[in-house]
Structure 1
Amino acid sequence: MPMHAQEIEDLLRETFPDAEIQVAGDDGVHMSAMIIDESFRGKNRVQQQRAVYAALKGKMDGPSGELHALALTTKAPD
């Protein structure tokens, strides 16, 4: 079952409550997200993206995952 942008944002908001989050995409399978959060400060891109994948609680795991692709932009606030 495809995921809607709001479902993805809700999952991300649980882990990153104070973040600026924008989720886009209309097919429910290939989506993009931008997350700007203070918790990313001092972390490299891989560490940031791992934190986002963990926040998605398995929704991208394996071929049976509900979300096939999520293009990520992550950073700490300026």
Structure 2
Amino acid sequence: MDCKQIEEILTQALGLEEVHVTSDGSHYQVVAVGECFDGMSRIKQQQAIYAPLMDHITSGALHALSIKTFTPTQWKREKIFNMPL
């Protein structure tokens, strides 16, 4: 499955402000940023990402998914602390 397809699916389903998907063979890494994650537990955030992708996961088109979710405020802080010097 193409990274851009995953980004489009998640953006449309969740109204995300940013989504970045990379792959290393069959393993995909998702970084999702959206207000929808505000107040959600980590488990609920993960479930929110899995839900629109479930058909692709069960079909085997999408395998081994690593997820990081942030609110826009958390993402801004994450980018500041992880900027290369």
Name the TM-score class by shorter chain: 0.7 to 0.9
| Residue 33 (structure 2) pairs with residue 36 (structure 1) | yes
Percent identity, aligned pairs only?
36
User: Which has the higher relative contact order, 1 or 2, with Cα contacts under 8 A spaced 6 or more apart?
Assistant: 1
| Residue 67 (structure 2) pairs with residue 72 (structure 1) | yes
Q: Give the Cα–Cα distance (whole angstroms) in 1 for the partners of residues 64 and 8 of structure 2.
A: 17
How many pairs align?
73
Runs of 4+ in 1 over 6 A off after TM superposition: none
When you count helix as a share of all residues, which structure comes out higher? 2
Q: Is the 8 A contact 1:14 1:55 kept in 2?
A: no
Q: Which runs of 5+ in 1 are unaligned?
A: none
**1:26–1:35 distance in 2 versus 1, CA, 3 Å:** same
Q: Which runs of 5+ in 2 are unaligned?
A: 74-85
Q: TM-score normalized by structure 2?
A: 0.76
CA RMSD of aligned residues (A): 1.4
Larger radius of gyration: 2
